[in-house]
């Protein structure tokens, strides 16, 4: 037993040992060492595989849990997509019914009820469309069709409410809409019956979105920029895309009406551009003159909603600047200088006034007369003032120009005239039938009116109406109420929200 004592202890033993004993000890020690080393190797030889096996086991358990979790997520996603598809079918069916009933009703209140139903169903169907994983290329037309049905119904509601009736061509259009919705409904039903749902699992996300179905007999996307017929889309998504195609029908009726999503308004031409076209060199000279000097180089021609020449460089003060000049008329559409940046928040009243005056002066210096500041936002050290054009003291709310003023320096750092150039023309303003007091009778008693002014506001996408604008407060909240200056009808109500960044109109 004694000999088996650990070597460390030997040092403390009395120095009466013989050489033999010492020798014996060192032999034993060596033997111990080898034994220990062997044991360690055994331990390692056993422990490592055991640990690896444990780790593998843990990894397997973990992996199976993960895969079960992934499957449950997959099922959840799939069922949500199927749910959306079923709901799309239901909504389109209900829309058919409402369209059918419209044919036989004679009462205008029933018309309104059915049309608002169609409006609501269109909104729901569009939301369903957004949740279904199908190629945008194949379904954008169906989406547009569903949006326009609702938009059209809403336009009709407004017409009936302001005393109008459905005309013959409206009934023709409603018939065509009914036919189209029946076709779409049937195609979706066929697919539902087959249990063939569009699924994000069968369409690869990034490619599937634009994957194009080139099977024969399908409709091609809109005529402008129609795709190359020899085009090969990704083979892997082919079958999914072929089936995704099936919601589409060959002919969507073209709706003629006056709403924000109507085809005519989506393709509207700008009305506020001066006559005549300019070339790039003239545009460059205009831009430099407009900026009051500077060093600009052309950065390209952009064929957009309003075709423009773009320039970039530095202005007279050395700030970097970008500016675009319209091809038609050579007007500055947009200009933005580099800014110092800064904090958000509405500054003190006198500061706001000073900045607003600087913005107004800037517009006057650049040939925009009689612009009236309306609302403003303040963020990132910049104040953005919205100026509206006026004509005979009537505010034209469609003709807005935004002016960006740097709060620290009071310098104008940007301008955006897109709205103005899109809609500004001299208006043929009627003289109001009602005076201010008469119009005031139409305003709710709850509104504590603070100011009144004549204004021209957009009524539909392409028509405007002359109104008295009553600004006031009700239980501490600011509102703007618009009363038709001819009929006394309440045309629009806006709530003004004072946020950290300025005023928001909703």
Partner 1 sequence: MSRMTKREQTGKHLLAWACLLLALLVLLIIFQPSAQAASLRRGSTGDDVITLQKKLKNWGYYGGSVDGIFGSRTEAAVEYFQRKNGLTVDGIVGPVTARALGMQLTGGTTSSSKTTASGDTYLLAQCVYAESRDEPYKGQVAVAAVVLNRVDSSSFPNSIAGVIYQPGAFSAVDDGQINLSPDDTAIKAARDALNGYDPTNGCLYYYNPSKATNQWIRSRPIITTIGRHVFCK
Compare residues 4 and 475 and give the one whose CB is closer to partner 1.
4
Window of 123-131, 163-171, 391-399, 483-491 that interacts with partner 1 by CB under 8 A: 123-131
Instruction: Point out which span in 87-95, 179-187, 260-268, 358-366 binds partner 1 (CB under 8 A).
Output: 260-268
- Taking CB under 8 A as the criterion, the residue among 133, 270, 313, 329 binding partner 1 is 133
> Per DSSP, what are the bridge partners of residue 456?
396, 466
Residue closer to partner 1, measured from CB, 111 or 402: 402
Scanning residues 157 to 196, which ones bind partner 1 (CB under 8 A)? none
Query: Based on CB atoms, which residue is closest to partner 1, 332 or 481?
Result: 332
352 versus 377: smaller Cβ distance to partner 1:
377
- Candidates 115, 162, 160; CA nearest to 490 is 162
List, in order, residues 6 or more apart from 338 with CB less than 8 Å away: 319, 320, 321, 413
The Cα–Cα gap between 175 and 451 comes to 48
- Rounded Cα–Cα distance for residues 385 and 32 (Å): 90
Binding pattern for the stretch 372-391 against partner 1, x by CB under 8 A and - elsewhere: -----x-xx---x-------
Residue among 377 and 484 whose Cβ is closer to partner 1: 377
- Using CA of residue 492, residue 157, residue 170, residue 149, what is the dihedral sign? positive
CB of 131 to partner 1, least distance (A): 7
Total of residues contacting partner 1 (CB under 8 A): 82
Asked if 461 is part of the footprint of partner 1 (rule: CB under 8 A), the reply reads: no
Stretch that binds partner 1, among 142-150, 168-176, 272-280, 361-369 (CB under 8 A): 142-150
Helix (H) or strand (E) holding 45: helix 19-104
Site string for partner 1, 210-249 (x = CB under 8 A): xxx-----------xx-xx--xxxx---------------
Cα angle vertex 320, ends 416, 371, to 5°? Answer: 25
List, in sequence order, the alpha helices (H) in 167-257: 168-194, 205-210, 238-244
129 binds partner 1 (CB under 8 A): yes
Residues 262-281 interacting with partner 1 (rule: CB under 8 A): 266
* Spatial distance between the Cα atoms of 388 and 423, rounded to a whole number of angstroms: 11
| 24/167 with CB nearer partner 1 | 24
Distances 116 to 155, 182, 357, 452, 489 between C-alpha atoms, Å: 10, 19, 45, 33, 21
The secondary structure of 104-173, three-state, reads HCCCHHHHHHHHHHHHHHHHHHHHHHHHCCCCHHHHHHHHHHHHHHHHHHHHHHHHHHCCCCCCHHHHHH
The owner of tokens 């080393």 is 37
Q: Contact, 309 vs 316, CB < 8 A?
A: no
**In whole angstroms, how close is the CB of 458 to partner 1 at the nearest point?**
15
Which residues between 289 and 308 bind partner 1 (CB under 8 A)? 300, 302-308
- Using the contact rule CB under 8 A, the part of the chain among 20-28, 131-139, 361-369, 477-485 near partner 1 is 131-139
Stretch 408-427 residues interacting with partner 1 (CB under 8 A): 416, 418-419
Is there binding between residue 106 and partner 1 (CB under 8 A)?
Answer: no
- By CB under 8 A, residue 206 contacts partner 1: yes
- C-alpha pair distances (Å), 250 with each of 242, 247, 342: 15, 10, 54
Binding test (CB under 8 A) with partner 1, winner from 89, 95, 121, 141:
141
Number of Cβ within a 10 Å radius of residue 378:
25
Which is nearer to partner 1, 173 or 233 (by Cβ)?
233
Which of 94, 151, 407, 469: binder of partner 1 (CB under 8 A)? 151
Give the one residue of 30, 33, 39, 189 binding partner 1; rule: CB under 8 A: 39
**Nearest to partner 1 of 147, 291 (CB atom):** 147
Q: Which of 200, 248, 390, 423 binds partner 1 (CB under 8 A)?
A: 200
If one asks whether residue 127 binds partner 1 (CB under 8 A), the answer comes out as yes
- 278: number of Cβ within 10 Å: 19
Count the neighbouring beta carbons within 10 Å of the beta carbon of residue 353: 12
Q: Is 405 in the site for partner 1 (CB under 8 A)?
A: no
Site for partner 1 in 45-64 (CB under 8 A): 47-48, 50-52, 54-55, 58-59, 62
Answer yes or no whether residue 70 interacts with partner 1 by CB under 8 A: no
d(CA 365, CA 369): 9
Shortest distance in whole angstroms from residue 33 CB to partner 1: 11
Helix (H, G, I), strand (E, B) or coil at 310: strand
**How far is it, in rounded angstroms, from Cα 106 to Cα 103?**
8
505 binds partner 1 (CB under 8 A): no
In sequence order, the β-bridge partners of residue 495 are 479
How many Cβ atoms sit within 10 Å of the Cβ of residue 457?
A: 19
Q: Which is nearer to partner 1, 312 or 452 (CB)?
A: 312
Which of 32, 314, 438, 487 binds partner 1 (CB under 8 A)? It is 32
């Amino acid at each position: 037993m004694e000999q088996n004592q650990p070597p460390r202890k030997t040092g403390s033993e009395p120095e009466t040992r013989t050489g033999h004993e010492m020798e014996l000890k060192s032999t034993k020690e060596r033997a111990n060492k080898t034994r220990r080393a062997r044991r360690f190797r055994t331990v390692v030889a056993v422990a490592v595989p055991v640990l690896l096996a444990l780790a593998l086991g843990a990894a397997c358990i973990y992996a199976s849990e993960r895969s079960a979790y992934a499957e449950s997520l997959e099922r959840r996603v799939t069922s949500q997509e199927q749910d959306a598809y079923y709901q799309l079918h239901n909504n389109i069916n209900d829309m058919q019914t409402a369209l059918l009933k419209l044919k036989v009703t004679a009462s205008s209140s029933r018309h309104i009820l059915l049309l608002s139903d169609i409006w609501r169903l269109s909104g729901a169907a569009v939301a369903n469309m957004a949740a279904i994983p199908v190629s945008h290329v194949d379904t954008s037309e169906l989406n547009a069709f569903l949006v326009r049905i609702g938009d059209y119904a809403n336009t009709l509601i407004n017409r009936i409410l302001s005393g109008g009736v459905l005309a013959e061509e409206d009934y023709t259009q409603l018939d065509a809409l009914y036919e189209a919705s029946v076709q779409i409904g049937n195609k979706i039903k066929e697919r539902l019956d087959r249990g063939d749902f569009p699924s994000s699992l069968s369409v690869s996300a990034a490619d599937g979105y634009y994957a194009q179905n080139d099977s024969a007999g399908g409709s091609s996307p809109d005529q402008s920029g129609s795709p190359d017929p020899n085009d090969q889309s990704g083979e892997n998504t082919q079958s999914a895309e072929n089936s995704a195609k099936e919601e589409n029908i060959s002919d969507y009726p073209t709706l003629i009406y006056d709403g924000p999503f109507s085809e005519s308004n989506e393709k509207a031409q700008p009305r506020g551009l001066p006559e005549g076209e300019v070339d790039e060199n003239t545009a460059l000279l205009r831009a430099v003159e407009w900026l009051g000097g500077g060093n600009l180089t052309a950065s390209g021609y952009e064929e957009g909603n309003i075709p423009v020449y773009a320039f970039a460089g530095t202005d007279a003060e050395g700030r970097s600047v970008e500016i675009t000049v319209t091809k038609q008329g050579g007007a500055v559409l947009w200009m933005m200088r580099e800014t110092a940046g800064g904090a958000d928040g509405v500054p003190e009243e006198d500061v706001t006034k000073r900045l607003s005056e600087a913005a107004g002066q800037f517009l006057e210096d650049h040939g925009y007369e009689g612009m009236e500041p309306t609302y403003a936002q303040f963020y990132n050290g910049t104040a953005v003032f919205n100026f509206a054009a006026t004509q005979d003291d009537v505010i034209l709310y469609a003709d807005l120009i935004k002016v960006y003023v740097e709060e620290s320096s009071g310098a104008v750092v940007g301008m955006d005239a897109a709205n103005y150039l899109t809609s500004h023309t001299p208006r043929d303003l009627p003289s109001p039938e009602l005076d201010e007091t008469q119009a005031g009778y139409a305003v709710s008693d709850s509104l504590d009116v603070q100011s009144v002014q004549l204004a021209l506001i957009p009524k539909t996408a392409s028509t405007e109406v002359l109104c008295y604008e009553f600004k006031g407060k009700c239980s501490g909240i600011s509102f703007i109420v618009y009363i038709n200056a001819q009929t006394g009808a309440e045309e629009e109500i806006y709530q003004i929200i004072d946020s950290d960044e300025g005023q928001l109109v909703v």
